[in-house]
């Protein structure tokens, strides 16, 4: 599993093996139930057991602000820091020619629909500060070129080569506050 080193994985495996059979049976049931109940929000792509998710359906959030992130983990990091009160759109990927990755056309269409249907006034692109994040940012700016919406990008308060999911609250707040607008709506 990502983020789990060999020693941690070995400790987890030995822990499970030392438990009564009912433990592993229950663990298996919980994992299957999790996979069956949790799915992507039809509006933003966040993981949820409700549709739309609690963020999209929250009337207290600013539905004029849309933060576009690469992954659900990035969304969780921004939410956990409490630095953004708008809504999100999860790309579920990035542009990385060396890895053969590109943005899914269906996700891009859903993003455009989200912007048009929900009267979004500003799209904040919160891609990771590395080459793939820059490529993803430029692809989004080009794709959204015809839309009459303000575009901005979070500032480089995050370390280059780092990831949003590992940033602390202060760094995320600075990055969100000093985002740079790349285009204004007309």
Longest dimension (CA), the chain: 65
The residue-averaged pLDDT of 128-152 equals: 88
d(CA 9, CA 3): 10
186 versus 107: the higher-pLDDT residue is 107
At residue 122, the pLDDT reads 94
What integer best gives the mean pLDDT of the chain?
90
Q: How confident is the model at residue 19 (pLDDT cuts 50, 70, 90)?
A: very high
Distances in whole angstroms, Cα of residue 76 to Cα of each of 21, 82, 140, 149: 34, 10, 21, 25
Helix (H, G, I), strand (E, B) or coil at 144: coil
The answer on pLDDT for 62 being more than 70 is yes
146, burial (CB in 10 Å: exposed 0-12, middle 13-18, buried 19+): exposed
Range in 14-23, 61-70, 121-130, 142-151 the model is least confident about: 142-151
Query: Is the whole-model pTM more than 0.95?
Result: no
The residue-averaged pLDDT of 45-69 equals: 95
Q: Which long-range contacts (CB under 8 A, 24 or more apart) does 112-115 make?
A: 112/143, 112/144, 112/147, 114/43, 114/44, 114/66, 114/89, 115/66, 115/144, 115/147, 115/149
The answer on pLDDT for 157 being more than 70 is no
d(CA 182, CA 67): 14
The residue-averaged pLDDT of 136-154 equals: 89
Is-contact 171 157, C-beta < 8 A? yes
At residue 87, the pLDDT reads 97
């Amino acid at each position: 599993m990502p983020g789990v080193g060999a020693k941690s994985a070995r400790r987890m495996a030995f822990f499970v093996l030392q438990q009564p059979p009912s433990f592993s049976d229950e663990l298996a049931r919980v994992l299957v139930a999790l996979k069956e109940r949790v799915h992507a929000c039809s509006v933003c792509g966040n993981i949820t057991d409700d549709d739309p998710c609690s963020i999209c359906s929250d009337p207290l959030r600013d539905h004029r602000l849309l933060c576009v992130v690469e992954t659900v983990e990035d969304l969780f990091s921004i939410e956990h820091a409490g630095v953004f009160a708008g809504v999100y759109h999860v790309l579920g990927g990035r542009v990385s020619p060396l890895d053969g990755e590109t943005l899914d056309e269906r996700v891009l269409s859903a993003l455009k629909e989200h912007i048009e249907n929900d009267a979004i006034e500003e799209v904040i692109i919160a891609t990771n500060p590395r080459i793939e994040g820059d490529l993803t940012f430029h692809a989004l700016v080009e794709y959204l070129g015809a839309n009459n919406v303000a575009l901005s990008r979070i500032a480089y308060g995050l370390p280059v080569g780092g990831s949003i999911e590992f940033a602390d609250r202060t760094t995320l707040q600075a990055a969100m506050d000093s985002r740079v607008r790349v285009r204004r709506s007309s």
